[in-house]
Every structure is written in C-alpha cells, then in structure tokens.
Amino acid sequence: MIRAHAVETVRAAEAAAMAQLPDGELMSRAALGLAEVAVARLADTEGTTVVGLVGAGDNGGDTLYAVAHLAESGFACAVVLVPTSGRSGVHAAGLEAAEAAGVMVHVAADDGSAAADVVAEADLVLDGIVGIGGRPGLRPEAARLVDAVDDDAWVIAVDLASGLDPAGEEGEDDAVWADETVTFGTPKPVHLLPAGEAATGRLTVVDIGIDVDEAPAAVERLTWDDVVALWPVPGSGDDKYSRGVLGVVAGSEAYPGAAVLCTTSAAEAGVGMLRYVGTPTPVGLVHQAVPEAVVGDGRVQAWVVGPGLDTDADDTHGRTQLDAARAALESDLPVVVDAGGLALVEGRRAAPTVLTPHAGELARLLTRLEGAAEGTDDAPSAGSGSGPSTDDARSSVNRPAGGTAGGQQGAGSASPSTAGDELPARGPGHGSVTADDVKGDPLGHGRRLVALTGATVLLKGATTLVVTDGEPVRSQADAPPWLATAGAGDVLSGVIGALLAAGLTPHDAASLGALVHGVTADRVSGGGPLRALAVAHGIRPTVRDLLARGRSAPS
Ligand SMILES: NC(=O)C1=CN([C@@H]2O[C@H](COP(=O)(O)OP(=O)(O)OC[C@H]3O[C@@H](n4cnc5c(N)ncnc54)[C@H](O)[C@@H]3O)[C@@H](O)[C@H]2O)[C@@H](O)CC1
Ligand SMILES: Nc1ncnc2c1ncn2[C@@H]1O[C@H](COP(=O)(O)OP(=O)(O)O)[C@@H](O)[C@H]1O
Ligand SMILES: [K+]
C-alpha cells in the first residue's frame, strides 16, 4: 500500500528527526537523493544542462544544494532565483554552496527575459519554487519562467509541482506540469489525488530518515501486493454459504445487459453463490450467461442493487423487482448501490453500504438529498430529466457520449445512468450540484455524500476515490481511459458485491474492487479498445495471477 501523509504529519515527523540530527542533515539528504535521480534522468535523456528554479523557502534550499552536486558532477548548471527580493530572498547557505560549485546564478527580478532564456536552454529543470509550504497557484514572475521551459526538457518537481495544493483538495491549473516528482520521506496527498496526480508525473520517494510508519495516512493507494493481503481466499473448511452468497437486483426490460455484466463479474470474482432477482428478459440472459446463478430471492450475505434497474418501470415484473430492491436497501445486510439504485437512496442505512456513483450521479444524489435535508422541493428523482452537465474541458475524464450501450453484443443495454448522461445540463442554481462541480472538487463532494448517508462513497473516474468516515481516503488509478465505456460500472459493482458478501468492510471491498477492476481493464485493453463484458471475463484470471504473484514472492 502506498500511504500519503498530510503536511502537518510530515512537519511533525521532520521535527522529530531533526531533533536527533545535526543542523541541515535532512535537507542535505533530500538534496543528495534529488541529485541522484537527476543524474539518472540526464543519463536516460543524454542531457547535459540543468536549471534550478529557486523559490524563497526550503524547497529552494533543496534545489540549490542538488544543483551544487550536479555542477560538481560536471553538468552545466544554472539557477534562477524566482523571488522578487532576489538573492536576499533565498536559502543563503544553499546559494553559497551552489556558487562555490560554479553554478551560474540568475536573478529573475534583475532581468526576467535573460532568466527565461537560460531556462529555455535546459535539458533538465528542477522546480524548487515552492514545496509543502506553498499556496496554490503561481505568481506571475514564476509563471513566466515556467512557461519558458522547453517542451523537450525533463521537469523534476522538487517535493511537489509548484502551484499545486499540497493537500490535493483544491484544483489549480496554474501550476508546474512535471514529468517526475521527487518527494521526501513520504508521498503527500497531492501526489495521489485527482487535483494533482496528473501534474505530478512519475513519483519517486527519497528516504531521508523520517518516520511516519505509525502516523495516520491522509490518502492511501492499494497496490498489487494488497490483493494477497485482502482477497478472501477460501479454506478447506469453507462451503459455498460460508464463502458468501450475493444477491443481485439488476437489469430490467429497458436495460437487461447490466444484469449479465454484474452477475458475470460477481461469478468471476469467485463469490460462493449468486442469487439474481430481475424481470423476464434479463432473467433469460442471466440463465444463459451465468448458469451458476440461482434465480429468485433468498438468504444472502450482501446485495448489489441498481445496475440497469429501471426505477420508472410500472409493469408487474418491474414493480416486483423494485420492491426487492427497496427491501434490500431496508435490510440489515451490506449493500452496494449503483446506477438506478442510487435513485432509491433516501439517506442513512444502519448496515454497511457502498454507493458507487460517477460524477453525474453524485451530483444528482447530492442535489436530491441536500434538497430534501433543507426541506426544499429541489429533489429530482432519477430519470426526471436532471442529468449531469457536459464534460469539464479541464477534466482528463473523457466520458463517452451516452447511449452507447448497443456496443455490448448480446448483452442488451447497460445501466440507466448511461442513458441519463444524454440528458441536458442542469445549470448551477439554487441547491443544485452539477457534474462539473463534482469534477472540480471530487473529494469534497464525495465527503458531502458520506456526511449525508454515512455510507462508503466510491466516486468513479480516471482516479477512483473511496471515501469512508474515519478512514484515510483510498485513491485508485489503475485503469486505462479505455475503461470509460458503457457497462464498465456494472462490472465493478459485481466485484465489490462479491467482496462484501465474503465479509470485507465496505472500504476494503470498494477499493480492492476498484483496483482489480482497473488492473483487469489494463490487461484486457493491452493498449486498445475494450468491452465491459471482456473486463468481466478478465476478473478471474487477473485475481488468480495477482494471488499467484503473492505465493511466489519471497517471504
Ligand atoms: N522541513 C524539513 O525538515 C525539510 C524540508 N524540506 C523541503 O522544505 C520544503 C518546505 O519548505 P518551506 O516550509 O520553507 O516552504 P516552501 O519552500 O514550500 O515555500 C515557502 C515559501 O514560498 C513562498 N510561497 C508560498 N506560496 C507561494 C506561491 N504560490 N508562489 C510563490 N511563493 C510562494 C512563501 O512565502 C515562503 O517564502 C519541503 O517541500 C521540502 O522541499 C526538505 O529539505 C526535507 C527536510
Ligand atoms: N478516463 C478514465 N480512465 C480510467 N477509467 C475510467 C475513466 N473514466 C471512467 N473510468 C472508469 O470506467 C468505469 C465507468 O463506469 P460507469 O460510469 O458507471 O459506466 P456505466 O454506468 O456505463 O456502467 C468506472 O469504473 C470508472 O472509474
Ligand atoms: K516544487
């Protein structure tokens, strides 16, 4: 597991380490580690020239010492001092070390265009403008220098890309876009959260001897090794019931394919037994595609409610299925609620619950529940026409146009959430939340839904966030953009349901499900298009291989 720590935690750990060490030791370790990475990248790129952008704090200090090491190793090195106060504004001892090593020093405040010319010549740029002490955004003098960086230069952000919010909460376009970030001691939240991950580039952690092992993480990311630690592997005393029975209320006459996708992935994830509750068309499809599934209600350990559920159905079969969905939500069993099921959520459930919205669904749910909490009438039901807004141009999440469900051969159409995406944008207004609002602050909006429902909220996207009250946020970015395809969410809900039925906590089931779903998509895609059904069929070999990896790893 990768664990990222909040700035306060890092500063406390640094203070504890510094109390035991000679002055300047931590900075010296940070600078040496940074210089070693820079040397390796210069070798990879056959670069010879280095420029350090140096701000007013210790981030600039790290950079000055690192550039001094690089100059001593024979590279042509310069630094540009960014603060308007010039030399007097930067780390004095670091500047002295750089000059002693023969580094050229340029003061941006004295001659900005000459400094920009120097920056433009560099093969490798060290961004030491600000680190964990930075406020989001770049000042104009810094932004001009950053703009001058050559497109082919390798940009290493020192600790974090300057301009980003270290906490990763606030989105900020005006920031350095790094090829790589060299961070010290431990990753910071910004490195793993959607607001900063893309601008962070490749993440390298340099050990400087601070101890955060016992400190709570702010953000976590499961890795392949966690599959071995968390995946429910049956023992010799198990039977199908003890391994967990999953009930699935999914699919409808309007969207039958979602039932196939969801039950297929639950079966592929190795659930002990599957019960399926649906209307005649998806029942027929599930019989064919997943003969293991038992059709009809019965005792289960967990439910998946909602993929492809038609909450507007008013025929007898549809109403019976909706009754089963509501009964599952009212039960004291763990439930994964996805797509159409989200429209049935009225607030808190006492039992473990995972809500799996994408940005548009989260916007609609918040609008409805917050409207209800305020006693306003601003509470649209699913399918009422208040769909998510158009894509945010800044977002890397290029959701496909809605209504692409025909791409699932033989599986009928996917979930109503997909159809809902075709609906017109709901503009910002009284009490309403838009999909763009959610994309602009995914974590903040996820937390709002957690506060309203007490559930674990899994917010889907290029980076999938799993938010649970009292737990570090889990952030998974394992999938290729090809996974943005109709029905992929139906597959995810089946995997999470299987894990909940086996007894995992909602937080572990959701994040482990997202990891395996994303890794499977990556394998199935192999760099090209994928189908949701192929992802569902890829779950079993992916889990097998991830578990085998653990068995073959040295203890
Ligand atoms: N504390 C420690 O023991 C260690 C700290 N290290 C380095 O020290 C950094 C933290 O240093 P500081 O606390 O001095 O803070 P920073 O160097 O991150 O930044 C603070 C300075 O930047 C200015 N500033 C803030 N936001 C700005 C913005 N948007 N544009 C321009 N200037 C801005 C502030 O006025 C202040 O002068 C870490 O990120 C890391 O690089 C490392 O040397 C490892 C050890
Ligand atoms: N740009 C992207 N990169 C990687 N994965 C993505 C991206 N966009 C969406 N996804 C993933 O694709 C899946 C889409 O699910 P969802 O939107 O619920 O589709 P559907 O409702 O059609 O099943 C989610 O797991 C989501 O995290
Ligand atoms: K930086």
> How does pLDDT run across 175-233, given as a tens digit for each residue?
999 999 999 999 999 999 998 999 999 999 999 999 999 999 999 999 999 999 999 99
372's tokens: 């209800």
- Which among 485, 486, 483, 487 has a CA at the least distance from the CA of 515? 483
Instruction: State the closest ligand 2 atom to the C-alpha of 480, by its place in the atom list counted from 1.
Output: 4
Predicted ipTM? 0.93
The helix (run of H) or strand (run of E) holding residue 202 is strand 202-206
pLDDT in the model for residue 414: 52
Q: Which residues contact 517 (CB under 8 A, 6 or more apart)?
A: 478, 479, 483, 488, 491, 492, 495, 535, 539
Q: In the chain, count of helices (H) and strands (E)?
A: 20, 18
Q: Are 216 and 472 in contact (CB under 8 A)?
A: yes
Joined tokens for residue 200? 């962070």
Residues 266 and 324: beta-carbon distance below 8 Å: no
Q: Which CATH class is domain 226-231+243-552?
A: alpha beta
Mean pLDDT by 10 residues, the chain (555 residues): 98 96 97 98 97 98 98 98 94 98 97 95 98 95 97 98 95 92 98 94 97 97 96 96 97 98 98 98 98 95 98 97 98 98 96 98 96 62 33 27 29 47 41 94 97 98 97 98 98 98 98 98 98 98 94 60
Decide: 49 and 75 in contact? Cβ < 8 Å.
yes
Query: So what's the pLDDT on residue 174?
Result: 92
Calpha distance 419→309 (Å, rounded): 12
Supply the pLDDT for residue 549. 87
Considering only CA atoms, which of 84, 37, 40, 88 is closest in space to residue 62? 37
Contact 99, 26 (CB under 8 A): no
Sign of CA dihedral 445, 451, 453, 454: positive
Q: Give per-residue pLDDT as tens, 384-437.
A: 333 333 333 222 222 222 222 222 333 445 555 444 444 333 444 447 999 999
How far is the CA of 208 from the CAs of 130, 215, 246, 375, in angstroms? 19, 16, 47, 53
Sheet holding 154-158, edge to edge: 104-107, 76-81, 49-54, 124-128, 154-158, 180-184, 202-206
Could you check whether 2-221 and 226-231+243-552 share the same CATH topology?
A: no
- Structure tokens given for 380: 């649209």
Asked whether 18 lines ligand 1 (CB < 6 A), one says yes
Residue type, 520: T
Helix axes 488-501, 532-552, angle to 10 degrees: 40
Q: The pTM is what?
A: 0.90
Q: How far is CA 219 from CA 68, 177, 294, in A?
A: 34, 21, 39
For ligand 2, mutation pick of 358, 399, 519 (most atoms within 8 Å of CB): 358
The answer to whether 445 and 362 have CB atoms below 8 angstroms apart is yes
Q: Which two tokens stand for residue 469?
A: 């009250």
Tokens of 450: 């957690």
Query: What is the atom index within ligand 2 of the atom nearest the CA of 488?
Result: 23
Q: Which of 59, 84, 176 to mutate to test the pocket of ligand 1 (most atoms within 8 A of CB)?
A: 59
Residue 543 CA, ligand 2 centroid: distance in Å: 20
Q: Is 322 exposed, middle or buried (0-12, 13-18, 19+ CB in 10 A)?
A: buried
Which numbered ligand comes closest to the C-alpha of 66?
A: 1
Helix (H, G, I), strand (E, B) or coil at 126: strand
**With contact defined as beta carbons under 8 Å apart, do 120 and 147 qualify?**
no
Phi first, then psi, for residue 155 (nearest 5°) are -105, 120
The topology under which CATH files domain 2-221 is Rossmann fold (3.40.50)
174 CA from centroid of ligand 1 (Å):
18
Q: What are phi and psi of 371, to 5 degrees?
A: -60, -45
Mark residue 308 as left, alpha or beta (left: phi above 0; alpha: psi -120 to 50; beta: remaining). left
Closest CA to 533 of 265, 307, 246: 265
Residue to probe by mutation, ligand 1, list 53, 130, 170, 204, most atoms within 8 Å of CB? 130
Q: How far apart are the CA of 184 and the centre of ligand 1, in A?
A: 13
Helices (H), 128-210: 140-147, 189-192, 197-200
Q: Where are the domains of the chain?
A: 2-221, 226-231+243-552
User: Both tokens of residue 99?
Assistant: 């000059």
